[in-house]
Amino acid sequence: MPSHDLDISVRACVSCRRCYGSNVQYCSDCFIELVGIDLIPYIIGGRYRLEHIISRGGMGVIFAAHDNEQNREVAIKVFRSSALADPRAQDRFQREVEFASQIQSPLLAATLGNGVLPDASAYVVTELVRGRSLRDEMKKMRRFEIASAVAMLAAIADGLNTAHQAGLVHRDLKPECIIIVSEPNDAQPAIKIVGFSFARVALGARFVPGTTGRLQARGMLPMRVTYLSPEQFRGEEADLRTDIYSLGVIAYEMLGGRPPFTARRTGEFAAKLLTERAPSLRALNPEINVLLQAEILRALEKEPRQRHQSAGEFKRALLSAQQIGLRIVD
Ligand SMILES: Nc1ncnc2c1ncn2[C@@H]1O[C@H](COP(=O)(O)OP(=O)(O)OP(=O)(O)O)[C@@H](O)[C@H]1O
Ligand SMILES: [Mg+2]
């Protein structure tokens, strides 16, 4: 690669999200002027050519890229430098990327590498997972059939368990991070989990008044808070049981058709999350048996020690509650 290519930063089309080098001015598909993104190089680490923006979040930008060395498509997340400013966040980042690189599981997007850009922002390269997300499925149907929801939740719990056993906590689990890779008619759902946060999610910094406004002004979505655990909201240490909580929210939403707590403003949401019990799930969906409801509400306990203590335990509890419920109905 000519050395001057290394100096070219990335520009993207705000309409189709396609990426170009900064020597290009207009999108060749949409004919609109391209915009620069935080001086991120167009070719990262001398080998990954950025192709399009998958998503922009609070911690950074995710791109689909072409790996020129291995001739394959990958996903790259470039973290904003402020996301890892705290030395504890940097330590956790390093540790978790190392743990993740050692995991080989069909349930988790493989971590392929990581590095640091000239401006000191960190990046992580992962397998690019193609498929529809659980969010896409949720948009299609208001509520899931109980057996298919439990099968899906069991598959997600298996993925989480694999990560947790390797020392990796997701910390930002939400339906967008569950990519369904099975076909609609397959007997069992197959999923891959993406979007591991690889860092201490520094909520304190992210909820400073005005922060959301600034992020929105730059065209980013405000942070999604629905799936965050009470301890994350309080800015406390969040261990694997934070993922159990988030999976509890996903379970509640799949079966009840709405998440346990909703609010227009973050403050109102926080008040509900920290003080109110999740409303009855059976009031939303009377077909849910009492045991299944009890297990989902247990995952949503405010105190981590009152939840299931592992994703495996949550999975077994869901499956047996559903089985016992079926026998009671028989
Ligand atoms: N490896 C991947 N393959 C395919 N899609 C991915 C991959 N990684 C992330 N995505 C998609 O991009 C979305 C956003 O990624 P991610 O969850 O990491 O960021 P975020 O949580 O939205 O933002 P942030 O954590 O920076 O606040 C995911 O929910 C998923 O839909
Ligand atoms: Mg995230």
Distance 55 CA to ligand 1 centre (A): 6
Q: Which two tokens stand for residue 117?
A: 């850009």
Distance 176 CA to ligand 2 centre (A): 10
Residue that finishes a domain, picked among 107, 127, 147: 127
**Ligand 1 atom at minimal distance to the Cα of residue 54:** 12
User: Residue 294 falls within a domain, yes or no?
Assistant: yes
> What is the reported pTM?
0.91
Enumerate the active-site residues. Answer: 172
Amino acid of residue 258? R
| Matching residue, tokens 């049981």 | 241
Whose atoms come closest to the Cα of 224: which ligand? 1
Q: Is residue 91 domain-shared with residue 211, that is, in the same domain?
A: no
Q: Is residue 141 domain-shared with residue 233, that is, in the same domain?
A: yes
User: Whose Cα sits closest to atom 23 in ligand 1?
Assistant: 57
Dist. CA 286–CA 267, nearest whole Å: 31
Distance 182 CA to ligand 2 centre (A): 23
**H helix intervals, 45-190:** 87-102, 134-140, 146-165
User: Residue 3 falls within a domain, yes or no?
Assistant: no
Dist. CA 14–CA 53, nearest whole Å: 9
- What CATH number does the domain containing 37 carry? 3.30.200.20
Number of separate domains in the chain: 2
Q: Supply the range of the domain harboring residue 263.
A: 132-329
Q: How many CB atoms lie within 10 A of CB 220?
A: 15
User: Residue 4 falls within a domain, yes or no?
Assistant: no
Q: Is residue 151 domain-shared with residue 232, that is, in the same domain?
A: yes
Q: Is residue 296 domain-shared with residue 229, that is, in the same domain?
A: yes
The contacts of residue 286 (CB under 8 Å, 6+ apart) are none
| Matching residue, tokens 């020129």 | 68
198 neighbors 170 (Cβ within 8 angstroms) = no
Residue that finishes a domain, picked among 77, 95, 127: 127
User: Residue 35 falls within a domain, yes or no?
Assistant: yes
Amino acid of residue 274? L
Question: What local confidence, expressed as pLDDT, does residue 200 receive?
Answer: 60
38: left (phi over 0), alpha (psi -120 to 50) or beta: left
Question: What local confidence, expressed as pLDDT, does residue 224 receive?
Answer: 74
Q: What is the pLDDT along the chain (330 residues), one digit of tens a residue?
A: 554 566 799 999 999 999 999 999 999 999 999 999 888 999 999 999 999 999 998 888 999 999 999 999 999 999 987 777 777 778 888 888 999 999 999 999 999 999 999 888 899 999 999 999 999 999 998 899 999 999 999 999 999 999 999 999 999 999 999 999 998 788 889 999 999 988 665 454 344 333 333 323 233 334 578 999 999 888 888 899 999 999 999 999 999 999 999 988 888 898 999 999 999 999 999 999 999 999 999 999 999 999 999 999 999 999 999 988 777 665
User: Whose Cα sits closest to atom 6 in ligand 1?
Assistant: 194
Whose atoms come closest to the Cα of 170: which ligand? 2
Q: Is residue 198 domain-shared with residue 316, that is, in the same domain?
A: yes
- The CA angle 198-251-328, to the nearest 5 degrees, is 145
Q: Is residue 167 domain-shared with residue 285, that is, in the same domain?
A: yes
The CA-atom distances, in angstroms, between 83 and each of 39, 176, 199, 203, 220 are 16, 20, 8, 10, 15
Give the binding-site residues of ligand 1, using a 6 Å CB cut-off.
Answer: 54-55, 57-60, 62, 75, 77, 109, 126-129, 133, 172, 176-177, 194-195, 197
> Ligand 1: which of 17, 62, 198 to mutate, most ligand atoms within 8 Å of CB?
62
Q: Is residue 84 domain-shared with residue 165, that is, in the same domain?
A: no
The CA-atom distances, in angstroms, between 178 and each of 108, 190, 227 are 9, 10, 13
- The CA angle 65-69-74, to the nearest 5 degrees, is 25
User: Whose Cα sits closest to atom 7 in ligand 1?
Assistant: 194
189 neighbors 182 (Cβ within 8 angstroms) = yes
Relative to beta strand 9-12, strand 35-41 is antiparallel
250 neighbors 156 (Cβ within 8 angstroms) = yes
User: Whose Cα sits closest to atom 4 in ligand 1?
Assistant: 129
